[in-house]
Amino acid sequence: MRGGLMEQLGPAAVNWRKQMHRCRFQRREVIFHQGEIGDTIHLIEKGRVLVEVSMARGDVAALSVRWPGDIVGELAVVGDGRRTARVTALEATETLALTRQTLAELRAEDPAVDGYFLKVVADKLSQSTDQLVDVLFAPVETRVMRALLRLVAAFDRGVHPAVVKVRQCDIAAMAGSSRQSANHALKLAESDGVLRIGRGRIEILDLSRLQILAR
């Protein structure tokens, strides 16, 4: 969701920011692993991160890309303490880490913060539900284009052509498809002039056409 935690806190954000620890991650560095104990929430200040889940049979599903203003890791802190997903930096990333204890103090001081976190969880659940419906009913080509469109929003910097800095295997994981199927769909779109595939990046040449393919 846009409109982050600092906006929710208003003037009090200045004081709370002093209690947060700044963390820096290199491209492809894991911020935290699925299953490990976690007692911090990360508020993304700079960069983009990929949220993904490993299945029992070894498959990996990419749930979303998060960017500045978003938070990750909240379920472990407000829940049973275990990370429900792996989060990896897609580019050089900086976060502000908020500990469980500090969050408890923040919630006690400002009850509206609970409403903010409830909205965050509800939005993420809604997005996951939409992706599940896609996997069950949408053709793989459509799913790949929809995943790419979500990534365009995440990486949008107001320039043309838009550049999405992810690997094709990441797009496949977001689309719930095999890498081979995702690559085929991307190659078709490239031959149609919609995009250009590079090493670890995809340039969007025709956003309007991409939006049509994602319907």
Span 189-205, mean pLDDT?
Answer: 96
Q: Examine the domain organization and report whether 95 and 165 are in the same domain.
A: no
Looking at the structure of the chain, the number of domains it has is 2
pLDDT tens track for 65-102: 999 989 999 999 988 899 999 999 999 999 999 999 98
Residues 6+ apart with CB under 8 A from 69: 2, 3, 4, 44
DSSP string, 68-87: TT-EE-HHHHHTTSB-SSEE
172 and 130: one domain? Answer: no
Residue 143 structural domain: 138-214
**What pLDDT score does 1 carry?**
42
pLDDT at 23: 98
Kindly state whether residues 120 and 147 are assigned to the same domain.
Answer: no
Which of 88, 109, 134 terminates a domain? The answer is 134
What is residue 134's predicted lDDT score, i.e. its pLDDT?
Answer: 84
Give the whole-angstrom CA distance, residue 116 versus residue 78. 13
Residues 46 and 149 in one domain: no
Helix or strand holding residue 62 (H, E): strand 60-66
- Whole-prediction pTM: 0.85
pLDDT over 90, % of the chain: 62
